[in-house]
Structure 1
Amino acid sequence: MPAYVNSIHCISPYQAAGATHAGAFIAPDPVYTEVLSPSELRRTPRLVKMGLYAAARCLADAGLDSVDAIVVGSGLGSFDGFEKFENALLEQAEETLAPTSFIQSLDNAVAGQLALKLECYGYNMTYTHRGFSFETALLDGLLLLAETDGPTNVLVGGLDETTPTYAQLLQRGGHLKSPAEAGRVELSHSPGVQPGEGATFLVLSSVRQPSTLAAVRAVRTVFSPRTALEVEHALTALLHEQHLAPGDLDLVLLGNGGDNAQDQKLRTVEASLPGIPREYFKNYCGEYHTAAAFAVWLGVQRLSSSGAAPGACAPKTCLIINQYRDVNYSIILLTRD
C-alpha cells in the first residue's frame, strides 16, 4: 500500500550546481524566529531548532495544524546540546548543574517538542538505529498508515548535525577525508568521507490529495551484507513486488559516501543498472546517519517538473539506494503518482 507525500521540507547544505566542496557540509540556518519565540531560541539546541522549523514549514505547506502521529529518526540526536552539558559537567565539578542541556540533547527531544507545540497526544516515536534511523521511522510511518482505522496523516522526519567536535572524532577514527582529497563522491579513490547534516520532515498520508507531491511505494533495508549480491537480491525483490523492471526506472539516486572501500558494493549494484540516469546525492549534503531523508526530499523535487535536473524531463519513478559505512543499506522507491 503506497503512502502519499503531501508536503516535505528540508534544511540542508544543498547547492543545485553540485560544485566541489571541501570540508564538512554545514546547512545554513533559516530564520528561526518565524516559528520560535526568543526564549525558545535561547534555550533550544541547534538540531532541535532545525527540526522544529522544518516540521513547522512542512505542516504549513500541507495546510495542517496538527497530525495524528509523529515519527522521527536521528542517528546522534543533538550532539551540540550533549557537548554543552558535558562541558558544564566538567567545569562545575558536577555541582549546581542545570539539566536543561541534557534534556534537550536527548534523541527524542524533537519529537517531544513537536508533540507539545502541536498538542499531538497520539503515537510518538523516535528511532536511533544509526544508518537506519530515518528508514526505520519511514517504515513505521508506512505501517501506521496501513493499519485499519489507523492515522490519516503522519509526520515523519530525519535529522542529524555535524559539529567541530564530531568532525574531530571522525578524524581520530580515520573516517574524515582530507581537504586535499575532497571532490565528487563517485570519482573518489581515497578513504574517508565529508560529514554533512540536515533536517527533513514530510507529511505522509493514506489519502491522495490534489496537492500530493509523490508516493512512497516501498522501503527495503539490508544490514551488513557480505557481498553486493545480497543488496542486488533485495533490489530485485523490491522491483518484482512493485511489478517493475530495472528499465522502468527513470532516475536512481545513489548514496556513495566518498570512501573508496565503503562504496565498493554500491558501485557493483550501480553497475547492474546500466543506462538509467543517476545522481549522487551526497555531493549535495555530505555523509551523515539520516542522509536518506535528504535523498527523499531530492527525489520528490526531481519528480516534480520544477525540480527536475537541468535539461531533463521530470521522471515518473525514482529509486534511492543508500549505504552508510558499508553496514546499513537501504532502498526506497518513489513515484510521481
Structure 2
Amino acid sequence: MSDLAVRTDGLTKRFGKQLAVADLDLAVPRGSVFGFLGPNGSGKTTTIRIVLGLASATAGRVQVLGQDMPGSLSRVLPRVGALVEGPAAYPFLSGEANLRRLDAADRHAPAGTRAQRVAAALDRVGLGNAGGKRVRAYSLGMKQRLGIAAALLVPRELLVLDEPTNGLDPQGTREVRNLVRSLAEDGATVVVSSHLLAEVEQVCSHAAVMRHGRLVAQGSLEDLRSRGRSRLRVLTPDPAVTRAELARLGLGLTPVTADAQRDGHHDTGDERTTDGAAVVLADLPEDAPLPETLAEALVAAGVRLRGFGVVQETLEDRFVALTGEGFDVAQ
C-alpha cells in the first residue's frame, strides 16, 4: 500500500491558451490533514477536480489511494468524500430528504442503515435540529454544513473539502475545525483547500502552497516554518552607526517589517519614532555570530541599545514571500 493518499506527477491542465496547473508534483501523506493553500485563482480547485475525476488533465499522472486515476474511478470514489465548489442541493426539499436522495443514489451505501446514517451525519455537522427544514431556508453556512454532511454519509478513507468554512460564523468555523480533527483521528486523510492561513495553521499537519498554477512549497507545517528566516531586530537612536556595524559584520539589512511599521518604527535613515529611536533589521544566516556577540559588538561600536532581539519569520511571512500575495488570516 502506498504511503500517499494522493500523488500527482507532472500534472498539467490547460484551458485553451491559459495554463491553469503547471507540472504539479503533489504528495499527500496518508493520515494527514493536508492544507492546500493559495490565493484565489491559484489552481487549487482545478487540481482537486482533476484528482477526483471531475476534469481531465492535459498531461501528467494522478494516483488516489494507490490507484491510477481516472482509470480506477469506480473503485476509488466510493472510498472518497468530497465538497467541491460549494454544496448543491434541492432547495424545495429538506436537508434530511436531500441526504436520503443522495445516499440512495450511491449503490455502495446500505439502504438498511440509511436513516441512522443520515441522522448521524446531520448531528455531526450541527444540523440535527434543522434536518427537517427546507434547504431554501438555510443560510450559506447551513448549506455548507449540509455539503460536509453529504461527504460523511459513509466512512471515507479520503475527504476533500474545498473551502469548508466558507460562509460560517466564528462558532461554526471552530466546529468545522474540530470536525476535521476528529475525522483525522478516526484514520481518514483530509485535504482542506483554503485561502485562509489561520484555517491551515490550526488544523493541518502538512501543507502545499500554490501560486499561478505552480507548486511553490510543500511539506509538514513544522518543516515549512523551519525554512523561515531569522532576523535581528535592533531599536536604537543610532541607526546609521548600527547599519555600518552590521554591514561590517556581514549581515544583510532588510526593510522594516509590517509589525514595526504598525508600531510607528521606521528603518529609513533619518526617520525616527517619537522618542528618537529607529528600528534596524538584519537577516541572520546560519553561520551568523551569536546574538550576545552581536550585541557586544554594537555596544563596542557606540550603539545605544533600547531594544535587541532575534525574531523568526512567521508562516504568514513565509507564504507571502513564496506567493508574492497576501492571505486572509482570519475568518
TM score, norm. by length of structure 2: 0.25
Which of the two has greater strand per residue?
2
Higher relative contact order (CA 8 A, sep 6+): 1
TM score, norm. by length of structure 1: 0.25
